[in-house]
Structure 1
Amino acid sequence: MYQPRKRGYRKDNATLRWSLPDRVFFACGACHILAYAFLERWGTPGMQALWIRPAAGQTGNHVFVDGGDWVFDYHGYANRPQFLAHVWRGARRRWPGWDATLVPLPRDVLISEQKSRGYDGLWLREPGQFLHDAMPRANAYLDRFRAPAVRTAR
């Protein structure tokens, strides 16, 4: 949940949205594309995409990858409990009384507008519905990060 501070920014302006810096682009409406690209590149059965679904009548959607004790989004990797506390604290500072639930999303929902509409309150753009295809941009952004650490059983 990040709000761009660019003068005249509007989500329906495809050119302005595409021109946002990568971090802001993947925070403001393309977080699901980044989550999909991450899962395609490094996903394991223990990882899933989670949607922060705001309570009825509230705003503040976000999709991130849950790896168990860590998460990944446009910030990179973070400790899961600290990340969730940070999100809730920040949202409640901006919107007093804010609350949300975590909803697991199947991987194919992340890149399908039609399938995303099967979730009340969710509407995701497909990679090709941006000014340009967002998938190559997501993959290039992921190049900045290392693969997640894989735990081995003892």
Structure 2
Amino acid sequence: MYVLKHGIKKNAERRWALPDRVFFGHGACVILAGTFLKHPPLGGFYGERIIPGEGFSGNHIYVTNGVIAFDYHGYSSCSLLLEHHAKAWSSRHPGWLCAITRVDFDLLDNAELNRRKMLGPDQYLHDPISRAERFLRRRSHAEAAAKALAIAMR
């Protein structure tokens, strides 16, 4: 987990200047997931959301087929992604807990995202969907997913 310096997420220029993995790991995960689902490089994936318990941070959205997951880290087993996320947040915030829910809203719709206290694609300094598309094009999806599946099946 990346820890940002105070104020970066509130500053559009500084936020946009973050490296892709950090950008998509700190709030723009929803844009990455929504872009993945809009033109899926692999079939059978859907969005899931990590919703932290009352008073905690740590919201995250990723895509999964139920066995493997994709987010700003790339492909991994779903259980390892969730374990990593929980470990990172609970190490900084004792008592951290969360719920996992299937996404039932449009991940690229400003109003839907704002209703859930997330930024929509039109609320970034530049075009985050184009940035997510470039991020996704740099991946060998079939190969990376196969490796993650092999690890998940051990």
Interval of TM-score (by shorter of Structure 1 and Structure 2): 0.7 to 0.9
2:127 is aligned with 1:133: yes
The equivalent residue for 2:112 is 115
Tell me the C-alpha RMSD between the 2 structures: 2.2
Structure 1 residue 115, shift from structure 2 partner = 1.7
Could you report, residue by residue, the CA deviation over 1:45-103 in whole angstroms, capped at 9, with x for unpaired residues? 73211111000111111110112210000000001111111111111111111000012
The equivalent residue for 1:4 is 4
Q: Which runs of 4+ in 1 moved over 6 A?
A: none
The equivalent residue for 2:58 is 60
Secondary structure of the structure 2 residue equivalent to 1:26: helix
The equivalent residue for 2:137 is 143
State whether residues 111 and 127 of structure 1, in contact with CA within 8 Å, keep that contact through their aligned partners in structure 2.
yes
Structure 1 residue 117, shift from structure 2 partner = 4.7
Structure 1 residues 136-145 or 8-17, which shifts more?
A: 8-17
In structure 2, what is the Cα distance between the partners aligned to 1:117 and 1:24? 21
The equivalent residue for 2:152 is none
Secondary structure of the structure 1 residue equivalent to 2:25: coil
State whether residues 55 and 101 of structure 1, in contact with CA within 8 Å, keep that contact through their aligned partners in structure 2.
yes
Identical amino acids, percent of aligned pairs: 38
Q: Could you tell me the TM-score, scaled by structure 2's length?
A: 0.84
Structure 1 residue 10, shift from structure 2 partner = 2.6
Q: Which ranges in structure 1 are unaligned for 5 or more consecutive residues?
A: none
- Which is helix-richer, 1 or 2? 2
